[in-house]
A and B are shown apart, each in its own frame.
Chain A
Amino acid sequence: MATAKKLIAKSPVVSDKVRHYGNDPFVLKKNRKAKAFLEKYGFPKEFTSGSSQKNRGKI
Chain B
Amino acid sequence: MNQDRYIFSTNETFLDFEFESDGPNGKIKKGVSYSLRNAGGITFFNLAFGHRNEETKELDDKAISDNQDRDKILSTVAATVIEFTTHFPDIPVFAQGSNQARTRLYQMEISANLAEIETILDVYGSNKGRWERFRRNVNYDAFLARRKQN
Could you say which of B16, B50, B115 contacts A20, with CB atoms under 8 Å apart?
A: B16
- A35 and B40 alpha carbons, distance in the complex (Å): 9
Could you say which of B8, B43, B59, B117 contacts A24, with CB atoms under 8 Å apart?
A: B59
Query: Contact: A18 with B82, CB < 8 Å?
Result: no
Contacts of A8 in B (CB 8 A): 82-83, 86, 120
- A18 and B52 alpha carbons, distance in the complex (Å): 11
Contacts of A31 in B (CB 8 A): 35, 37, 46, 48
Query: Contact: B48 with A21, CB < 8 Å?
Result: yes
- A55 and B85 alpha carbons, distance in the complex (Å): 11
A56 to chain B, nearest CB (A): 6
By size class, the interface of chain B is: 35 or more
Query: Contact: B59 with A21, CB < 8 Å?
Result: yes
Q: B64 on the interface (CB 8 Å rule)?
A: no
**7 A-B Cβ contacts within 8 A?**
A12-B7, A21-B48, A34-B37, A38-B39, A42-B131, A58-B14, A59-B36
Binding site for A on B (CB under 8 A): 1-2, 5, 7-18, 31, 33, 35-40, 42-44, 46, 48, 50, 52, 57-61, 79, 82-83, 86-92, 94, 96, 98, 115-117, 119-120, 122, 124, 126, 129-132, 142, 144, 146, 149
